Amino acid sequence: MLRSSNPVLSRQDAFTPAAPQYGQSPWSNQPYGYEQYPGQAPVQAPEERMTFDDVVTKTAITMAVLVLTAAAAWFAIPNTLMFPALILSGLVGFVVVLVVSFRRVINPALVLVFAAIEGVFIGMISKFFETLYDGIVAQAVLGTFAAAGVTLAAYKFFNIRVTPKFTKIVIIATISFAVAMLLNFGLSLAGVNIGLRDGGTGPVSLLAVGVSLLGAVLAVLNLVLDFDYIEKGVAMGAPAKESWRGAFGLTVTMVWLYIEILRLLSYLRR
């Protein structure tokens, strides 16, 4: 059932060829707008197909909303509300991801809502780390886009082929990582620290460094699966609206990669 580790790209029907319009025969060679037979309604133009340019454009729009919201949250939300806003936006953003993932039809408005909510989360967590380590946010942003760019270049130039075995391993590892992080988050709210994340300012544990390294590697592997899935969608002639789903999936993975790089840099600075 799950064909991609990214939850928003794992629907079985996410990328299917655009169906012929009502009254249109898929084998017809009749020019669009002309009647095939006397008395039959004119053939309608086929649905537009998804392209790589569509995905790039929609991803740019989604990321722009996220960045602008993050900047607004950074300056508008006072420090006293930083952690409540961080926790609330993180939880709400997680719920929105699930809602979008399980919807059969992608909703562009909901994608942009997610970007705005996630922007608040990114703005708050970035502000927190920037207060501790001056200049770390700019380093994390550069590191994130550099890692994504290198991954895309490797995928294209080295002709990486995603096998079912590779996909299965990444899926299992990603789900396990997510469950561990949710467990760690719940225990941290109860005052229990199992060492998977280190948010202090003293010496950092090797376990926390290893967890963040694993998270960054998994995020990069998820990018590979996302690129492969989008490429297959374009090749299959998926409807143009599915470009929003591809943009959403890439945004989710990029946010994850940014957070892991931000944590890794904070550990190095310590």
pLDDT value, residue 33: 44
- Taking the C-alpha atoms of residue 101 and residue 121, their distance in angstroms, rounded to an integer, is 20
pLDDT of 242: 86
User: What tens digit of pLDDT does each residue of 91-142 get?
Assistant: 999 889 888 888 888 889 999 999 999 999 999 999 999 999 999 999 999 9
Q: In the prediction, which pLDDT does 9 show?
A: 57
Spans of the chain, pLDDT less than 70: 1-47, 199-202
Q: Is 26 exposed, middle or buried (0-12, 13-18, 19+ CB in 10 A)?
A: exposed
Asked whether residue 6 is assigned to any structural domain, the reply reads no
Task: Let me know if residue 252 belongs to a domain.
Answer: yes
Residue 130, domain member (yes or no): yes
Which residue is associated with the tokens 């569509």? Answer: 54
What is the per-residue pLDDT for 252? 93
| In-domain check, residue 17 | no
Q: Is residue 33 part of a domain?
A: no
Q: What is the pLDDT of residue 241?
A: 85
- Report how far apart the first and last C-alpha atoms of the chain are (Å, whole number): 43
Given this model, what pLDDT does residue 47 score?
Answer: 66
Count of domains forming the chain: 1
| Per-residue confidence (pLDDT) for residue 71, from 0 to 100 | 96
Specify if 27 maps to a domain.
no
Cα separation, 33 vs 120, whole angstroms = 48
- In a domain, residue 261? The reply is yes
- Domain of residue 212 covers 47-269
**pLDDT value for 38:** 54
* 32 domain residue, yes or no: no
Among the listed residues 218, 197, 175, the one whose alpha carbon sits nearest the alpha carbon of residue 267: 197
